[in-house]
Amino acid sequence: VPTADARFVRALADVVGDAHVATDPEITRGYCVDWTGRYVGASPAVVRPSSTAEVAAVIGICREHGVAVVAQGGNTGLVGGGVPLVGELVLSLTRMASVANVDLVAGQVTAQAGSTIAQVQAAAGASSSGLTYAVDLASRASATVGGTIATNAGGLRVVRFGDTRAQLLGIEAVLGDGSVVSHLGGLPRDNTGYDLAGLLAGSEGTLGIVTAARLRLVPVQPFRTTALLGFTSAFTAIDAVVGLRRTAPSIEALELFFRSGLELVCEMAGLQPPLASLPDAYLLVESSGPADPTDELSSAVSALVGVTDAAVTSDGPRRRALWQYRELHTEAISRVGIPHKLDVAIPLRALADFLVEVPHVVASVAPEARVFLFGHAADGNVHVNITGIPVDDLAVDDAVLRSVAERGGSISAEHGIGSAKRKWLHLNRSAAELAAMIAIKRALDPDGILNPNVLLSPVVPRGTVAPRGW
Ligand SMILES: Cc1cc2nc3c(=O)[nH]c(=O)nc-3n(C[C@H](O)[C@H](O)[C@H](O)COP(=O)(O)OP(=O)(O)OC[C@H]3O[C@@H](n4cnc5c(N)ncnc54)[C@H](O)[C@@H]3O)c2cc1C
């Protein structure tokens, strides 16, 4: 465990109060392990500021002492980007969790970075406002506004409402040079130069610490129908994705999983399989609207070829029961062992081929591995989860990510690059693009103190001192 310099800790405590700087490893340990357990680091201290001014002061102290800092929200990130793997200070945003200014006229809300997605959804929907926050993901109870912006989280409703970047109407952040940028007016049309909110979305804590955001809200759709469809193969399932996207505009979610994952979920949660038969591939489809979408969804489903079995319901508890089979995948897979999680996107026309091929790609490198595939099919997003191989063995990751890039896909659909995928970033980004990113990094974080181990990471010396001269 890196030891904290006493003067450094004193300076932090003078800003946030003694109670909000932790150096005891018993306390800091939980902040140093990621959700999967795959990434375990160590930190000299965890600091928990309560305001943007305190965040700015903390960054100033880090600059002065040459200490690198990793921002942390709910610590649900899946690419080892939010934990201190090279001895960074952990800056936790969890005390900054207020959600205010729900504007029913404009349909907007301002949320501090440490608010969870569930808190934003609850605040948006309070007093029967008829509004909600469009971003939704299974980690909603812990994942924060700051974390979801920093990773540009996607989630379950991207097909209808877009990703986190698409919800951003303004942002407040402390940049790496300690300056505060605040643009929370929320004008949907505002072409006054560079879009800093859009730039910070997906920046993984490398350019600034997000402290608050102005977020777009969408109308709650009062009627909702969920269908679970079974298919004999990935090919018929993906054909159905294409068909449904075209014929059912009320679709809000279109999720894919396979029999192996379903069996794992049933075993872990003590559930019965959802359909009378046990098909190989499944689509979970949810439609919503101001009027009952059941007829639209049913007729779109009946036009599909290759559906072997289906359950359709608009009853709340039965809908939630169907969702469990999809949402419990992440947890069920983690119980098998520490997974290698490769969150990729493939062009829709190449998706079925990829789904069939990827287990062979894995087996050719690691015959003992198990592969579980699921994801947000409407956007070509597949989570390739591989268990049964050593945590540090990257041969399988390499083979899968190269096969993704060869098909014109993205090595990160929604989780980001983090520390997990930085060595493969060049598969998706040209030298000119990387040079532009490094120039932006240098401009906004001149000392290279913000999350130096992720995304564009150069070789970072172990210890608490950040690399100079980005
Ligand atoms: C069960 C489960 C389901 C999930 N489902 C999805 C899904 O459907 N879609 C999806 O996209 N992701 C999903 N995730 C991944 C994860 O929830 C998201 O990446 C989420 O955006 C992380 O938010 P967080 O607050 O936990 O961030 P953290 O894990 O704390 O941090 C993630 C990254 O953001 C940076 N960061 C955090 N806060 C700030 C800040 N205030 N300012 C600057 N940088 C910051 C960190 O340094 C790190 O690089 C899932 C995870 C789990 C465990």
Each residue's pLDDT tens digit, 10-63: 999 999 999 999 999 999 999 999 998 989 999 999 999 999 999 999 999 999
The CB of 36 under 6 Å from ligand 1? The reply is no
Tens of pLDDT, residues 414-453: 999 999 999 999 999 999 999 999 999 999 999 999 999 9
Among 33, 50, 72, 206, the mutation site with the greatest number of ligand 1 atoms within 8 A of its Cβ is: 72
Pocket probe for ligand 1: among 36, 38, 76, 257, the residue whose CB has the most ligand atoms within 8 Å is 76
Q: What is the mean pLDDT of residues 214-240?
A: 96
Neighbours of 13 (CB within 10 A): 16
For the Cβ of 31 lying below 6 angstroms from any atom of ligand 1, the answer is no
CB 261 within 8 A of CB 373: yes
Sign of CA dihedral 446, 448, 451, 457: positive
Strand stretches in 117-178, DSSP E:
131-132, 168-175
Chain segment 144-167, per-residue pLDDT in tens: 999 999 999 999 899 999 999 999
The share of the chain scoring above pLDDT 70, in percent, equals 97
Given a cut of 50, is residue 469 above it in pLDDT?
A: no
For residue 170, what are the β-bridge partners? 214
Q: How confident is the model at residue 129 (pLDDT cuts 50, 70, 90)?
A: confident
pLDDT at 468 over 50: no
Rounded to whole angstroms, how far apart are CA atoms 449 and 84? 12
**Residue 388 pLDDT > 50:** yes
pLDDT above 50: residue 290 = yes
Confirm or reject: Cβ of 176 under 6 Å from ligand 1.
no
Q: Residue 365: in which H helix or E strand, if any?
A: helix 348-365
Ligand 1 pocket check for 205: Cβ under 6 Å? yes
Q: What count of other Cβ atoms lies within 10 Å of the Cβ of residue 272?
A: 6
What tokens does 313 get?
């319901």
Kindly state if the Cβ of 89 falls inside 6 Å of ligand 1: no
Amino acid at 211: T
Pocket test for ligand 1, best of 151, 161, 257 (most atoms within 8 A of CB): 151
pLDDT of residue 1: 64
Cα of 412 from ligand 1 centre, angstroms: 13
Element containing residue 264 per DSSP (H, E):
helix 259-269
pLDDT, residue 461, reads 37
Per-residue tokens: 89: 């200070």
Checking if the pLDDT of 93 tops 90, the result is: yes
* pLDDT reading at 462 higher than 90: no
Provide the β-strand partners of residue 230: 282, 309
371, 362 in Cβ contact below 8 A?
Answer: yes
pTM of the predicted structure, to 2 decimals? 0.93
- The reported pLDDT for the residue numbered 265 is 97
What's the mean pLDDT when you consider all of the chain? 94
Measured in Å, residue 37 CA sits from the centre of ligand 1 at 15
Q: Are 360 and 330 in contact (CB under 8 A)?
A: no
With contact defined as beta carbons under 8 Å apart, do 223 and 339 qualify?
no
**pLDDT for residue 3 is more than 90:** no
Q: Look up residue 340 and give its amino acid.
A: H
Cβ-contact 156, 226 below 8 angstroms: no
- Ligand 1 mean position to 318 CA, how many Å? 29
Q: Which of 78, 119, 174, 417 to mutate to test ligand 1, by most ligand atoms within 8 A of the CB atom?
A: 78
Q: What does the alpha-carbon distance between residue 413 and residue 358 come to, in Å, rounded to a whole number?
A: 16
Cα–ligand 1 centroid distance for 74 (angstroms): 7
Residues paired with 180 in a beta bridge: 174
Q: What whole-number distance in Å separates Cα of residue 223 and Cα of residue 297?
A: 12
Distance from residue 291's CA to the centre of ligand 1 (Å): 34
Which pLDDT score, from 0 to 100, does residue 459 have?
A: 43
If pLDDT is split at 50, 70 and 90, which confidence band does 465 have? Answer: very low
As beta bridge partners, residue 310 has 229
CA of 236 to the centre of ligand 1 (A): 32
